[in-house]
Amino acid sequence: MDKTTTLLISLLFSFTYLATSLSKNHLCNQDDKNALLKIKKALNNPHQLVSWDPESDCCSWYCLDCGDATVNYRVTALTIFAANISGQIPPEVGDLPYLEKLVFHKLTNITGTIQPTIAKLKKLRDLTLSWTNLTGPIPDFISQLKNLEILDLSYNHLSGSIPSSLSTLPKILALKLSRNKLTGSIPESFGSFPGTVPDLRLSHNQLSGSIPKSLGNLNFNVVELSRNKLEGDASMFFGANNRTTYSIDLSRNMFQFDLSKLEVPDSLGVLDLNHNGITGNIPVQWTENPLQIFNVSYNRLCGHIPIGGSLQEFDSYSYFHNKCLCGAPLDSCK
């Protein structure tokens, strides 16, 4: 390259840089920027947010997304994860009114309760506050966030009962409340959701009581209830009638029901029932199902393990500790 070309190219680059940085400076909304700078300060200026420089366009900052021109480039997503950040979720998160996605994930030094100003974020579609050290209840106001599709509050220390009002969320697709200290029973209202039936993940809590019969009317794709203190009948999740259920995990509860006549949907890939008080025998129909994960150990089952399908692909640990279950992969029946 001759000198003129080099000069021209570098000039071109400088102009492009200047032009983009100038135009970008116009993108960020001043109210959003003010709120974000307060959030940064409240979190003690963590290293993770070093790009949040007041002189630059906030739409270029890390951990953020701005919407397009149709929303005047307002901040639509705030995603902070795996950082060394201590303190509470700052109230100023409620001053980002175009936020559709708010994620605080894997921040074990984040403490306190679920920030009440989140109630103002009416456009939220994804609220994920997971693997933090949040305490206190799941607030009722969450049911006012009518655009919510994902609610993930798993891996915290949340206590109290599950608000029954969560079943009024018209667009909810996933309720992930596993690994907390939630008590009380599964709300009766969870037998009806106005829109799509959400994935229900409530494992590793202290939920008790029996499952409302009405949940049997719903076609859940995923039901995870393991490691609670739930009791009684859970047969309502079975039955092949038009269901597309993929995963049922009821392990480590106190369920008692008879398996003998229950059908499993063709779609079922995961069935974990270990550590309950389930009786009866394993239906022959289950051999027709392409199960990938299967565990009925530590129950009170009896009779022959039906031969066929994937049932002999699991080892004895999927079947052991039952009352009188027999046949491959366990010892042959007497």
Ligand X SMILES: *[C@@H]1O[C@H](CO)[C@@H](O)[C@H](O)[C@H]1NC(C)=O
For ligand X, the closer CB: 165 or 196: 196
Binding mask of the shown chain, residues 116 to 155, with x at each position contacting ligand X by CB under 6 A: -----------------x----------------------
Q: How far apart are CA 123 and CA 22, in angstroms?
A: 29
Do 127 and 150 touch, CB atoms closer than 8 A? yes
Binding mask of the shown chain, residues 274 to 293, with x at each position contacting ligand X by CB under 6 A: xx------------------
Least separation in angstroms between CB 297 and ligand X:
4
Side-chain half-sphere exposure of 106, counting CA atoms within 13 A:
4
Least separation in angstroms between CB 316 and ligand X:
9
- Assess 165 for contact with ligand X (CB under 6 A): no
Binds ligand X by CB under 6 A, chosen from 25, 79, 111, 219:
111
Q: Are strands 208-210 and 229-232 parallel, antiparallel or unpaired?
A: parallel
Least separation in angstroms between CB 53 and ligand X:
20
Least separation in angstroms between CB 279 and ligand X:
18
Binding mask of the shown chain, residues 51 to 90, with x at each position contacting ligand X by CB under 6 A: ---------------------------------x-x----
- Between the alpha carbon of residue 93 and those of residues 40, 114, 214, 263, the distances in Å are 11, 11, 37, 47
Least separation in angstroms between CB 242 and ligand X:
4
Q: What residues from 230 to 249 belong to the interface with ligand X (CB under 6 A)?
A: 241-242
Do 77 and 64 touch, CB atoms closer than 8 A? yes
The residues of the shown chain that bind ligand X, judged by CB under 6 A, are 84, 86, 108-109, 111, 133, 241-242, 274-275, 295, 297-298, 317-318
